[in-house]
């Protein structure tokens, strides 16, 4: 099927002499001999959970419910024991050699300062190059875009985004806010979020429909809202999820900044109270500086110009979801409309390449999640429309998605976003 737009039509926005790339590589040797297995949980949730606990294994997907799939990372020293423990279960191998998969993914292309063009999306990139890409993109459209920050991370890095607007000027229309790389290892979300910004900015002068979107809304795109964690995935542990905040009384590091928002944070069952857990909620609601600063930024935008749409981009699982995560029975005020729009977005995504996204409320579609950005944005932040999406894939590659899938993921995600922008009231 013909893509929504052809990348080949994009013109290079600027050119400059090539400069040496700031090479960054995750410590792939840390994953030598590691394998990633998928276990069909069926009615054995407790058994699979016990295996994970006893062998002290990392999960990409935990065994949340009967019939679920559990994606489990196993070090070489425990492969034989794990295989014996799951004998008789339905098990497939996602990554035979995790280190090799990470090494292939991390072959970053060189980025020359001043060359913010479509070739950017051919590979993944270092954190510093992401910042430079945003600066270069803004410099190409200086009269209708600006670099913005929503406070600093725990380690003092500015949470950097790009704000752009249309013919009526800056800050005069309802806002659209996109977050991505909340969970540090979800690199595809960084690229796709930038792809959306790139498409909206570079096509403004040549595509009447895109011009109408940018004239109707101000866009705030934050590709990396967890910069400390993201840098850590590029310099130390590729599969790191949380921020890099210390925890008093524990040697374990980090809070899950998508379980730390100050709405329904104190409920049980949707996040962990264990500082060592990947979904650790923190000691108190909004005690991660990233969460506090992002919330303050959203409040400010809502107060000054209104907030039409908030989307938090994640990976992986191919889902397009609505509030709520904290409850499977509570319903958002716009529940029926939100669910309908999410289903429409999923259909629009599928129409591009056939990629199937499942849609519905977070709790019943993926799992219970308390203290999430989407629930907060819907009920506290005042966003008229609020969604979260889990991008490619469904587990064949998981978090280590090959760079060849960046552009297709961006193209189909644009189709889903386009559906929303056309159909929101």
Active site residues: 390
Q: Is the backbone of residue 127 left (phi > 0), alpha (psi -120 to 50) or beta?
A: alpha
User: Structure tokens of 296?
Assistant: 């303050």
Residue located via tokens 């730390």: 260
Instruction: Work out the burial of residue 405: count CB atoms within 10 Å of its CB; fewer than 13 is exposed, 13-18 middle, 19 or more buried.
Output: middle
Q: What is the DSSP letter of 269?
A: S
Beta strands in 57-140 (DSSP E): 58-61, 69-74, 91-95
Q: 197 with 219: CB under 8 angstroms? A: yes
Instruction: Work out the burial of residue 22: count CB atoms within 10 Å of its CB; fewer than 13 is exposed, 13-18 middle, 19 or more buried.
Output: middle
DSSP helix/strand/coil, 142: coil
- The count of other CB atoms within 10 Å of the CB of residue 27 is 13
Angle between helices 208-216 and 187-202 (to 10 degrees): 100
Q: 205 with 166: CB under 8 angstroms? A: no
Angle between helices 406-423 and 208-216 (to 10 degrees): 60
Q: 192 with 410: CB under 8 angstroms? A: yes
Full strand arrangement of the beta sheet holding 319-322: 145-152, 158-164, 218-222, 175-179, 307-315, 385-391, 319-322, 358-361
Dihedral sign from CA coordinates of 320, 124, 139, 210: negative
Q: 220 with 163: CB under 8 angstroms? A: yes
- Stated as kind and residue range, the H or E segment containing 322 is strand 319-322
- Give the rounded distance of the alpha carbon of 397 from its chain centre: 16
Backbone angles phi, psi at 312, to 5 degrees: -110, 110
- Stated as kind and residue range, the H or E segment containing 199 is helix 187-202
């Amino acid at each position: 099927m013909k893509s929504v737009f052809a990348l080949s039509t994009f013109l290079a926005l600027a050119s400059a002499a090539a400069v040496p790339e700031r090479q960054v590589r995750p410590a792939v040797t840390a994953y030598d001999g590691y394998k990633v297995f998928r276990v069909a949980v069926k009615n054995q949730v407790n058994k699979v959970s016990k295996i994970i606990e006893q062998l002290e294994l990392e999960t990409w997907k935990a065994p949340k419910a009967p019939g679920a799939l559990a994606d489990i990372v196993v070090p070489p020293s425990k492969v034989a024991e794990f295989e014996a423990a799951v004998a008789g279960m339905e098990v497939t191998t996602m990554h035979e050699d995790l280190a090799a998969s990470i090494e292939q993914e991390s072959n970053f292309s060189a980025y020359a300062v001043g060359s913010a063009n479509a070739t950017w999306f051919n590979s993944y990139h270092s954190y510093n190059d992401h910042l430079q890409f945003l600066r270069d993109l803004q410099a190409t459209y200086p009269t209708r875009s600006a670099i913005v920050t929503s406070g600093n991370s725990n380690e003092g890095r500015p949470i950097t985004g790009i704000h752009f607007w249309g013919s009526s000027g800056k800050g005069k229309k309802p806002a659209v806010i996109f977050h991505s790389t909340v969970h540090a290892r979800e690199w595809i979300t960084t690229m796709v979020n930038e792809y959306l910004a790139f498409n909206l900015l570079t096509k403004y002068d040549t595509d009447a429909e895109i011009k109408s979107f940018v004239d109707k809304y101000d866009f705030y795109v934050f590709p990396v809202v967890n910069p400390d964690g993201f840098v850590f995935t590029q310099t130390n542990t590729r599969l790191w999820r949380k921020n890099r905040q210390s925890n008093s009384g524990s040697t374990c590091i980090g809070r899950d900044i998508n379980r730390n928002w100050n709405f329904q944070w104190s409920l049980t069952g949707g996040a962990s109270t264990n500082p060592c857990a990947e979904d650790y909620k923190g000691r108190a609601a909004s005690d991660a500086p990233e969460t506090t600063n992002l919330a303050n930024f959203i409040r400010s935008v809502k107060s000054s110009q209104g907030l039409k749409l908030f989307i938090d981009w994640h990976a992986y699982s191919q889902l397009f979801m609505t509030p709520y995560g904290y409850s499977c029975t509570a319903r958002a005020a716009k529940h029926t409309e939100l669910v309908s729009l999410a289903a429409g977005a999923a259909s629009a995504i599928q129409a591009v390449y056939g990629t199937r996204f499942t849609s519905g409320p977070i709790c019943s579609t993926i799992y219970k999640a308390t203290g999430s950005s989407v629930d907060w944005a819907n009920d506290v932040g005042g966003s008229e429309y609020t969604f979260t999406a889990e991008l490619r894939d469904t587990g064949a590659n998981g978090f280590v998605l090959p760079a060849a899938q960046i552009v297709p993921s961006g193209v189909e995600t644009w189709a889903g976003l386009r559906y929303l922008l056309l159909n929101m009231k």
